Structures are given as structure tokens and as C-alpha cells.
């Protein structure tokens, strides 16, 4: 689960692993968790690590390791980014995989953003460029990571998982609305990532 933490109590580490994200309402997380449960009955389990429902989010921009000294600049960029955004919506629909369905390593749920979300992404990219964060070469391709497939499985096993994925059709399962976006710190350990909100901003304020 996400934990909330004010800026004055940010860890004293020199670098923080950061990203910007939208957080789903609890009722949407329940629907996504239900979808994961259904998928687990269809896909061989031994080689797949499913994302915990409490860690599911919509990444707007992954920053990687960032100097702690940049956090204030990033929160300022958030304020400018959201200045004329009144909220945003998305359709959750479709299943896919990276790098491809035929050779999957990450399984994802598709997201169709509305115009406000697209504008939010564009504004954020424009504010981050002067801070030294390059723009996304592939543009905005939002998705929800549902599972990661082990690097250690054989090509035969990976292809078999891909064939199962290719037969699964996920219709529209939800149309969530977002009234905030967040700067989030990610801490990695053997049990997976732990996410902490460093700063949250409400749209239209």
C-alpha cells in the first residue's frame, strides 16, 4: 500500500527513485484485482509475478534516480503542469504485453486516456525538459502493469504464455476519474517495490 509522507521527512539519501503517477480509486483497484484473479486462472503461474493490487498505479513519467535536491523543483513543475487541468479520465480496456504478445515479459492492461490526460502529460514533459529530463521518444503510451514474467523461463514456455494471452479479450472494465496526481518515491527490495507519496496536487486549484 502507498504511505503518505511530507517533504520535510524525506529520507536523507542522496538520490531517490522517483516517478509521477495517477492513483486509482479503491473501487477501481477492486475491479483490476478481480481481472488479475481471472487471468491467474488462465495463465501458467510458476513463472509469473503478479503486481499487488495496492501497488497498481498509472505512471505518467518515470524519472529514475534523482538527486534529493531536485524535489522542490519537481513539485514546482507539478504546480505549473496542473494549472489548467480540471481533472482527467481514462478507459481501462484490452490486454497486451511488452515487448510483444508473442514474446511477453510484462503483461499490461490497456488505458485509453482522455484529452485532459494527454494535455497533462504534454504539460509535464514541457516542464521537465528544462530540469534535465528528456521527453519520451515514443510519446505517451499509458498502461497498467499487471505481471512480470521470469527471465529464467525457456522460449517454449514464454511462447506458450503468449499464445494464451493472445486469446484473451478484456472489454471495458472501468472508466476511472482522477482529481490528483502525485510524485512518488520507489524503494526496491527482495519483496518488491514500496511506494511513498512525496507530494500530491489536486487539479483545478
Exposed e or buried b per residue across 147-174, where buried means at least 16 C-beta atoms within 10 angstroms of its C-beta: bbbeeebeeeebeebbeebeeeeeeeeb
| Distance separating alpha carbons of residues 22 and 178, to the nearest angstrom | 7
Q: Is the dihedral of CA 114, 119, 120, 126 positive or negative?
A: positive
182 is catalytic: no
Catalytic option among 84, 103, 143, 182: 143
Cα–Cα separations (whole angstroms), residue 83 to 20, 22, 79, 128, 168: 16, 16, 6, 15, 40
Catalytic option among 57, 84, 103, 182: 57
CA 60 to chain CA mean position, Å: 7
Left if phi > 0, otherwise alpha if psi is -120 to 50, otherwise beta: which for 176? beta
Annotated catalytic sites, by residue?
57, 143
Amino acid at each position: 500500500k502507498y504511505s503518505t509522507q511530507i517533504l520535510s521527512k524525506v529520507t536523507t539519501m542522496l538520490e531517490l527513485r522517483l516517478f509521477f503517477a495517477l492513483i486509482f480509486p479503491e473501487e477501481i483497484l477492486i475491479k483490476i484485482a478481480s481481472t488479475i484473479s481471472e487471468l491467474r486462472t488462465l495463465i501458467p503461474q510458476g513463472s509469473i509475478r503478479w503486481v499487488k493490487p495496492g501497488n497498481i498505479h498509472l505512471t505518467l513519467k518515470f524519472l529514475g534516480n534523482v538527486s534529493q535536491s531536485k524535489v522542490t523543483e519537481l513539485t514546482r513543475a507539478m504546480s505549473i503542469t496542473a494549472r489548467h487541468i480540471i481533472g482527467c479520465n481514462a478507459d481501462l480496456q484490452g490486454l497486451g504485453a511488452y515487448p510483444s504478445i508473442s514474446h511477453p515479459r510484462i503483461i499490461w492492461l490497456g488505458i485509453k486516456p482522455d484529452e485532459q490526460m494527454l494535455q497533462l502529460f504534454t504539460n509535464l514533459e514541457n516542464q521537465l525538459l528544462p530540469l534535465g529530463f528528456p521527453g519520451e521518444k515514443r510519446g505517451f503510451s499509458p498502461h497498467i502493469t499487471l505481471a512480470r514474467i521470469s527471465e529464467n523461463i525457456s522460449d517454449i514456455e514464454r511462447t506458450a504464455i503468449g499464445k494464451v494471452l493472445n486469446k484473451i479479450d478484456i472489454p471495458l472494465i472501468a472508466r476511472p476519474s482522477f482529481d490528483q496526481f502525485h510524485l512518488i518515491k520507489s524503494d526496491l527490495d527482495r519483496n518488491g517495490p514500496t511506494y511513498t507519496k512525496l507530494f500530491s496536487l489536486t487539479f483545478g486549484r
